[in-house]
Amino acid sequence: MRFLIALALLAVAGRSATAQSAHPYNLFLSDWRPPPGQRCDLGATPALDALVDTAAFYARVSAITHGSVLFAWTRPDTLGSQRPEYGPMFDSVFVVERRMPDSTATVIHDALLATLKRSKNSPSSALLRLDFDGHPTVRTAPSLECPPAMIEDSSRARSRARLRAIAGKEPRNAVIGFMVGRDGATHESRIITSSGDDKFDTEALAASAVLHYRPALYNRVPVAVYVRLPVRAQQQMQ
């Protein structure tokens, strides 16, 4: 019996294929590029065998024959502190896009969770795309991480002018920290490094409240992140 089970697993694996994708854009099911003015970085290049017990995974999804789904995976010990008030709490595996019923994607999601190799030596994150056309094909790519991008507008210009007026001829430097939410708004601003001028620090905090960002993106999904922002100002010499 064990011999027959082993043969069955080998047969499933033999009908399956894995490939390494050069770039996350190749895995998205719809055309996507970052918003103008926002850059994106790539995580480490993952290998499927380092993430998943492939034979066990293919056995669990052998009944699925059609559709495509793209997952983002993050190693649980690298998720960090997540704040539910700033957006949904991510699982270590979540669906980015799918072309199949939600119930089918859930079966694949559960199969991935059940067959993940929970090792600290595995990559911290990855994209996994599964295409089913009679047999599963799995492709992997690095995760796509896009830091928040500040939007320049009239409010920011007015804040800069007030900071220069308060600073006077002496240069003032402070560092403020805040959360940038999934909507791009700032939350919980505080002074990390004081300028030494209470009035300047207060105005710097007020300026951070009117800042607006293109939110950080993790594999296209908006996420809340913490930002440290240096604030420097000096009145221009006449």
State the pLDDT at residue 191: 95
pTM to 2 decimal places: 0.76
Is the confidence at residue 122, as pLDDT, over 80? no
pLDDT tens profile 128-174: 999 998 888 889 999 999 999 999 888 788 888 888 888 877 888 99
State the pLDDT at residue 90: 56
Interacting residues of 237 by C-beta distance below 8 A, sequence separation 6+: 169
Higher per-residue pLDDT: 237 or 98: 98
Highest mean pLDDT among 9-13, 184-188, 234-238: 184-188
Range 190-198, long-range pairs (CB < 8 A, 24+ positions): 192/228, 195/231, 196/172, 197/166, 197/167, 197/172
Mean pLDDT of 45-67: 89
Q: Which domains does the chain have, with CATH numbers?
A: 2-142 (no CATH), 149-233 (3.30.2420)
Is the confidence at residue 181, as pLDDT, over 50? yes
State the pLDDT at residue 77: 59
Quote the mean pLDDT of the chain: 82
Mean pLDDT of 20-40: 86
Is the confidence at residue 111, as pLDDT, over 60? yes
